[in-house]
Structures are given as structure tokens and as C-alpha cells.
Amino acid sequence: MSVKITKSNKSHLSIASVISKVLSGKLFGDKAYISKLLLH
């Protein structure tokens, strides 16, 4: 499990790509987080 707390003006997609690099398995999020950048 990975968690990062950010300010509200920070892009959540940029953070999601950072914390998902060290994870294995499935990544769940709402529709706003689906991006081609996260699938690579």
C-alpha cells in the first residue's frame, strides 16, 4: 500500500504515477485517474 498527502492544487495524476511505480498488482481509482500515462 502506498499513500501520499498533497496540497489541493497539486495534480493527482503526477502523484499517482510516482507512487504506482513501486506497486505491483492492481491499481484502483475513479474515472478521473484513468490515463494513458498510468498504463505504461
- Element spanning 19, H or E: helix 12-20
Confidence of residue 35 (pLDDT cuts 50, 70, 90): low
| Mean pLDDT rounded to a whole number for the chain | 68
Q: Which of these, 9, 12, 7, lies nearest to 30 by C-alpha position?
A: 12
What value does the mean pLDDT take over residues 10-37?
Answer: 69
Model pTM? 0.35
- pLDDT tens per residue, range 22-32: 777 777 766 66
Q: What is the pLDDT of residue 7?
A: 72
For 13-37, what is the mean pLDDT?
70
What is the residue extent of each domain of the chain?
10-40
**CA dist., res. 26 & res. 7, Å (int):** 25
Work out the average pLDDT over 12-34. 70
Q: SS3 for 25? A: coil
